[in-house]
Structure 1
Amino acid sequence: MRLSRWFCAVLVVALLAGCAGRPEGVLIPTTERAAGTSRVDVLVATTRRPSEEPGILFSGERGKEPQVTEIAVSIPPDSKREVGQVQWPKKLPPNPEKEFATVSVTPLETAGATAWLKRTLPKSRRVLVFVHGFNNRYEDAVYRFAQIVHDSKADAAPVLFTWPSRGSVFAYNYDKESTNYSRDALEALLRRLAREPAVGEVTIMAHSMGSWLTVEALRQMAIRDGRVAPKIQNVILASPDLDVDVFSRQLAEIGPKRPSFTLFVSRDDRALSLSRRISGNVDRLGQVDPMAEPYRTEFEKAGIVVLDLTALKGNDQLNHGKFAESPEVVRLLGNRLIAGQTVTDSHVGFGERLGAVAFGAAQSVGSAASVAVSTPIAVFDPTTRRNYRDQVDRFGNSLGGTVVTAVGQ
């Protein structure tokens, strides 16, 4: 009885946090313009079935063949919006001065997609592929990715892969099967990008259930080709809705020549709490405590960097979208992660404080444990922590005694 009430409460919150009040057909291009707006051009590949409704473009049902579309989105001036938020139109046509608006929609064949890629690639020659999560309509994925690209100032050509989600909290199993349906298509897209001579490197960012789809596609590629394509260098999994045991097997099957993995986790993620309950009560990867065993050791062995966002507060009542809504996280995405750089404690204002604790020879267990961390983002970086421990051990040995360290506690 108590469990049923808990399920209902989570579902009600999800529904209230959803798309109530939004107009349909927001992907109808508008001729309205406003000064100071920004434009984001996105290449959208999808396994969804085309929709006959104007401005919907693709439904939540499964299509027979993948299709590609170029969509340009107008984003309001920075002075009129909050970083991390999608300003959905209240009515159509939208007001570009205050709301997101669709500027153009262009269906593309293979040659057109290649031309778009060559035209859009920055000097870094980097491509950013985004794979959305559960309960996303086509337009949800397009506007959310446009927001991420704009707010992060990502130095990359933005490519969205959107799979058949019915956009309903009651369609969890359908959506999960749709990710399985889309594995081959995502693998093929990633392989084409990696084989394109103009592309220098590929970063993949996946959210929620899209993490399952992404890791499965990489696993398939590794099995077929003997390894993941070398140009695929970084994988970012945000709130991954992945069984921890399954993820461990996937990594093993991908093999040692794999991309660098970065995880965003949050122990207060209510959506993943629901997923855990309906998936055999096995921990979800996006909700683990990276400092608790056995996860700490496993992440360290695998060389996986984990950013714990539990202390961050956002506008998402389910605490499931912090990676895109938090200005601090969006800046990290653009400044380092999308660019393929490792994030360590120092990049979120944590390193100097941690160093003071780690190397303070006079620290006791009580004082070390009581040090307050000012930043809401905690980083588990295996390489940095190993280096800290090595330096602490050497420092302690030189004093002929034991040095208390906060690293890994």
Structure 2
Amino acid sequence: MTQQLPDSEFRFADGNRSFDAHYAEVAVSIPPSHEPGQIEWPTNRPDPLDDFAVVKFDPSDSAAQFYQAIAEAPGDTVYLFIHGYNNTTSEALYRYAQIATDFDLPQARAMFSWPSAGTGGAYIYDRDSVLFARDGLAAMLTQIARRTGKDINLLAHSMGAMLSMEAMRQLAIAGDQDVLQRIDVVTFLSPDIDPDVFRMQANAIGTLPQPFVILTSRSDKALRISSLLAGGRAKVGSIESAEDVADLGVTFIDFTNVSDGQHMDHMVALTSPEAIRILRGMVAVGLTTSLGDS
């Protein structure tokens, strides 16, 4: 699943854990030949006419500057993306650029990158990294809510959904209801969460943000492997688990019959042109998810 940018491209830090937050403003150009669901990866030096390419990378350690930029961006909503297991920051950035393009996400956009090892053999490391990163995500949600005054539309993939639930749980336990009330919409893509754990998290959070949408697929091979590692326990991202959490105010959308032929069908709702058309059509008729307005 994981791909690296070539040496001629910039690189973020790898999956080593840091106790300090780092910030950057990044612009990614999308080639005119872009196909929905695809990342046109550069093979050598990126050519903006054919490849995704970073055209601006402005790193900073200034939280004030970062949140001021979000506050000054157009609109009343921040679209916040949290990547999943086995993702480098660079890959997550390009994936978010693809999502933003294919779903016409407006500004402001932000991404929280947690220290995934970026390799398929580091599942346990990544699960521990989720616990390591939950304070950081809770802090980011708090800063967005209190410094920018914008609502938050949260899109999280795979283990990123587990991280999102943990962060919201922490905010609830801390009594930060003003922050939770700023989370307007949540969309989880193939969430890698045990249904019992999800229920306990949801109980701690209280009323979940609405709408709260979960995109699932029985064909998700990555979640199947995750379930095997967990002793055969199904995950929330498998539609078989829908009944276990249906009373929590969650809407399930099943993409079992759609495949993209890649990524083990673990992000098919964002990479299959057919799925993208379906979701854009649903948004167009008012069935809002955190994928923006069409």
Name the TM-score, length of structure 2 as normaliser.
Answer: 0.90
Say if 2:18 is the partner of 1:71: no
For the pair 1:211 / 2:161, whether they are aligned, the reply is yes
- Whether the 8 Å contact between 2:208 and 2:248 is mirrored in structure 1 is no
Q: Could you tell me how far apart the structure 2 residues matched to 1:192 and 1:334 are?
A: 30
Q: How does 1:1-400 map to 2 (within 5 A)?
A: 17-19=1-3, 23-25=5-7, 28=9, 55-77=10-32, 80-92=33-45, 94-108=46-60, 109-122=62-75, 125-199=76-150, 201-225=151-175, 227=177, 229-256=180-207, 258-289=209-240, 295-296=242-243, 298-299=245-246, 301-331=247-277, 341-342=287-288
Query: Partner of 1:196: helix, strand, or coil?
Result: helix
Relative to structure 1, is the Cα distance of residues 216 and 128 closer, same or farther in structure 2, using a 3 angstrom cutoff?
A: same
Greater relative contact order (Cα < 8 A, sep 6+): 2
Distance 1:297 1:240, change over 3 A: closer
Query: How far off is 1:334 after superposition?
Result: 5.8
Is the alpha carbon distance of 1:134 and 1:111 closer, same or farther for their aligned partners in structure 2, counting shifts above 3 Å? same
Tell me, yes or no, if the aligned pair for 1:154 and 1:334 is still in contact at 8 Å.
Answer: no
After superposition, the Cα gap between the structure-2 partners of 1:222 and 1:64, relative to the gap in structure 1 and judged at 3 Å, is same
Q: Which amino acid in 1 is paired with 2:102? A: D
Query: Unaligned stretches of 5+ in structure 1?
Result: 1-16, 29-54, 344-409
Shift of 1:229: 2.1
Query: Could you tell me which amino acid in structure 2 is paired with residue 105 of structure 1?
Result: F
Identity of aligned residues (%): 34
2:59 alignment partner AA:
P
User: In the TM superposition, what is the alpha-carbon distance from 1:258 to its structure 2 partner?
Assistant: 4.0
Compute the RMSD of aligned alpha carbons. 2.3
Q: AA paired with 1:95? A: D
Displacement of 1:82: 1.1
- The residue that corresponds to 1:10 in the other structure is none
Specify every segment of 5 or more residues in structure 2 that has no aligned partner in the other structure, as ranges. Answer: 290-294
CA distance in 1, matches of 2:18, 2:156: 21
Q: 1:249 and 1:297 mapped to 2: Cα distance? A: 12
- Higher alpha-carbon Rg: 1
Relative to 1, partners in 2 of residues 1:221 and 1:198: Cα closer, same or farther, differing over 3 Å?
Answer: closer
CA distance in 2, matches of 1:297, 1:172: 25
Task: For residue 15 of structure 2, give the secondary structure of its aligned residue in structure 1.
Answer: strand
Distance in 1, Cα, partners of 2:143 & 2:132:
19
In structure 2, the residue matched to 1:358 is: none
Distance 1:23 1:246, change over 3 A: closer
8 Å CA contact 2:214–2:237 kept in 1: the answer is yes
The structural deviation recorded for 1:339 is 12
Measure the CA separation in 2 of the matches of 1:120 and 1:25.
31
Corresponding pairs, count: 287
Alpha-carbon contact 1:148-1:330 (below 8 Å) kept: no
Distance in 1, Cα, partners of 2:279 & 2:27: 22
Q: Is the CA contact (8 Å cut-off) linking 1:132 and 1:209 kept in structure 2?
A: yes
> Is the 1:234–1:340 contact (alpha carbons within 8 Å) kept by the matching residues of 2?
no
AA in 2 matched with 1:121: P
Residues 127 and 297 from structure 1, CA distance in 2 versus in 1: closer, same or farther, beyond 3 angstroms? same
CA distance in 2, matches of 1:215, 1:198: 22
**Counterpart of 1:175 in structure 2: which amino acid?**
D
CA distance in 1, matches of 2:172, 2:283: 23
Is the contact between residue 151 and residue 331 of structure 1 (CA under 8 Å) also seen in structure 2? no
Q: CA offsets, 1:226-259, max 9 Å, x none?
A: 6352111111110000111110111111112644
Deviation at 1:209, TM superposition (A): 0.6
Question: Is the alpha carbon distance of 1:319 and 1:138 closer, same or farther for their aligned partners in structure 2, counting shifts above 3 Å?
Answer: same
